[in-house]
Amino acid sequence: MEQILIVEDDITLNQGLCKALKENDRQIVSCESISEAKEQLSLGTVSFVLLDIKRA
């Protein structure tokens, strides 16, 4: 099963992305921080990462 990791700190955007990308053969994992994302990546089951990067 395909697994997408969404890293977005804006809760509304995070929920919208999860809803838009949801499919029967796809698992969506959402994180609100980079530390949560690192933990998920360490499990080694992520197929794709969608990362929101803010520039200073």
Quote the pTM value: 0.86
**pLDDT tens for each residue of 7-50:** 999 999 999 999 999 999 999 999 999 999 999 999 988 999 99
Q: How confident is the model at residue 56 (pLDDT cuts 50, 70, 90)?
A: low
Residues 6+ apart with CB under 8 A from 28: 3, 4, 6, 18, 21, 22
